[in-house]
Structure 1
């Protein structure tokens, strides 16, 4: 990469807390997949959306204030996290080499979602803990495909009814998007009693996407399974 090309590829995040939040977000994504990439996308409202795949066929996103050049690019998550946490790192960051060919899935739309209902966060963490217990009972190295595909919650409202599959519940919890009132690193170790009863996760949907919005981020799943192909 030439110096000129490097200068054209920048991420500018003015607020230190946003840089810390993005580093945390990337750290959680790397725990799920150490080779994951992050797609940085400038939204129509001017904010940056940082997208990652979670390993459960679901996407996760964190939205923050800043700017990215070019407006839609994909880089290695570990490299960007290292740049964010490097000593003396400031608001202007070199995101690293482009790996746009590593992301062949279309992004969900920014608008057009129906608010189906709000679900107590405790319910979703409890479901994730039960899923972990089932996986351990079966002695599996990871959640079986049948468990991931199982719809463990039905939500109705806004003139629609959606089933929430376990893969989306695992993705939400794996990314640590629900405030749990503790520093427990593993889902099974979370004390449900410490989760604020008033804390909710919002369920939204379009005809093709299902979305869970929690306090610290959102996860998305294409309805009907799979992530649609779209070359950047």
Structure 2
């Protein structure tokens, strides 16, 4: 198994994202997907939202899930253009992923509003609408996840960009160099009865 990310700055930015995911959940797994010249990573969070980031590179096999701690060590400790991302744990990935887009820009949430929502949101209120723009309702859990990743502070209190693709919403708040974001399905999927 090989993860290739030629740029040192890209490797550092991906390591930062994975490190933040692992701090939230030491047992987190990260799904890596090759997208023709880009490697895209996905990780779940305790807030029931996904974190994603992408950078120029490749991964072989083209779709693999690895422990977040293994990937963090490969990116942060080894720090080479090609690394072994860790042991495949594909059976530990749960849930689906959004499509490739296109994403429609909807608006921006002021960083101060993220802090305000986090300050007033308790566990029972995570699914309440915390922000709405362009017909897209953002549950409080998404803004709590943005804060949990430490992104408003990291971005220098820049607004959090909100986008959607019709089925998923995307909050672009992490390092712009790797297109880091929080994503969540806008509506729950219907369970199939058998």
Distance in 2 of aligned mates of 1:13 and 1:112: 24
Residue 130 (structure 1) shift? 2.9
Over aligned residue pairs, what C-alpha RMSD do you find? 2.2
Residue of structure 2 in register with 1:105 after alignment = 95
CA contact (8 A) 2:35 2:58 kept: no
The verdict on how the C-alpha distance between 1:227 and 1:148 changes in structure 2, with shifts beyond 3 A counting, is farther
**What is the distance in 1 between the residues matched to 2:34 and 2:165?**
21
Runs of 4+ in 1 over 6 A off after TM superposition: 226-229
Aligned-partner Cα distance in 1 for 2:116–2:103:
26
Q: Structure 2 stretches of 5 or more lacking a match?
A: none
- Indicate the larger mover: 116-125 or 101-110: 116-125
User: Shift in Å at residue 228 of structure 1?
Assistant: 9.2
Query: 2: CA distance between counterparts of 1:75 and 1:58?
Result: 18
C-alpha contact 2:6 2:81 (8 A) present in aligned 1: yes
How many Å separate the matches in 2 of 1:83 and 1:49? 16
Q: Which has the larger radius of gyration?
A: 1
Does the 8 A contact of 1:179 with 1:215 survive in 2?
no
How much has 1:211 moved relative to structure 2? Answer: 1.1
Length-normalised TM-score, structure 2: 0.87
Report how far residue 206 of structure 1 moved: 2.4
Task: Note if contact 2:170-2:181 (Cα within 8 Å) is conserved in structure 1.
Answer: yes
Q: Against the structure 1 CA distance between its residues 127 and 59, is the aligned structure 2 distance closer, same or farther, given a 3 Å change threshold?
A: same
Pairwise CA distance, 1:214: 1.8
1:178 equivalenced with 2:178 (yes/no) = no
